[in-house]
Structures are given as structure tokens and as C-alpha cells.
Amino acid sequence: MMYRLIADAAMVVHFAFLAYLAAGGFLAWRWRRAIRPHLAVVAWGLISITTGVECPLTLLEDWGRRHAGERGLPPSGFIDHYIEGVVYPEQYTNLARSGVAVLVLFSYAGYVLRRR
């Protein structure tokens, strides 16, 4: 039971992390201190996309599921399992990533304009 809770908690945190990646820059419009954590999240996102480094949350969820006697995540990882093909068709992956990049850039442009 504990392993299942760990896996489920990792999944929820992972979804929250992705939501913060996409929209967290807008929080900095109101709370300027939010920009640094968001920069770190964006940096991690870029590193994981460009290098293929596995996210620790993916590893934790997979570990928890396997120890709970369930199937672990597929080798393709968290996003392929929960988002691609579920939220949007797999062939639109680059479009979805571009959309997130536009959101982040727009939020940063707004942050800079609001600081002035």
C-alpha cells in the first residue's frame, strides 16, 4: 500500500510540475520571486527534452509501481504514458512542445513589461 501511495504521489507531483512549467511564469507577474523557481523548471524541461535524461519523478513512480506489484511505466516514460496519445495525438508532440514554449516566452515577456 505504501509503494502505491508513493507512486501516486509522484504522479500527482509530476502533473503539477508540468502545469507549473507551462503556466508558472504567469505567477511571476504577481509574485516576482516565482521567476527563479520557474527558470529552474524550464531549464530542467529543456535538459530532459534535449538530452533524454530521465526525470527523478518518473523513476520514483516506476519504482513505486513495481514494488506495489503493478506494471511500471513503459520505457518511453511519464509523458508518453499519460499525456501523448491521451491529451493530444502523438503526431502533435512538437506542436504541443512549441505551444508550451510560446506560453513560457509570453509569460516572460509579460514579466519584463510588468517590472518596468
Domain count, the chain: 1
Print the domain residue range for 99: 2-115
pLDDT of residue 64: 96
d(CA 10, CA 2): 12
Per-residue pLDDT, 23:
94
CA gap 46, 100 in Å, rounded: 11
Per-residue confidence (pLDDT) for residue 2, from 0 to 100? 94
Q: How many CB atoms lie within 10 A of CB 35?
A: 19
pLDDT for the residue numbered 106: 97
pTM of the model: 0.88
Among candidate residues 67, 90, 91, the one with its CA nearest the CA of residue 79: 90
Q: Which residues of the chain have pLDDT under 50?
A: none
Q: What are phi and psi of 88, to 5 degrees?
A: -145, 155
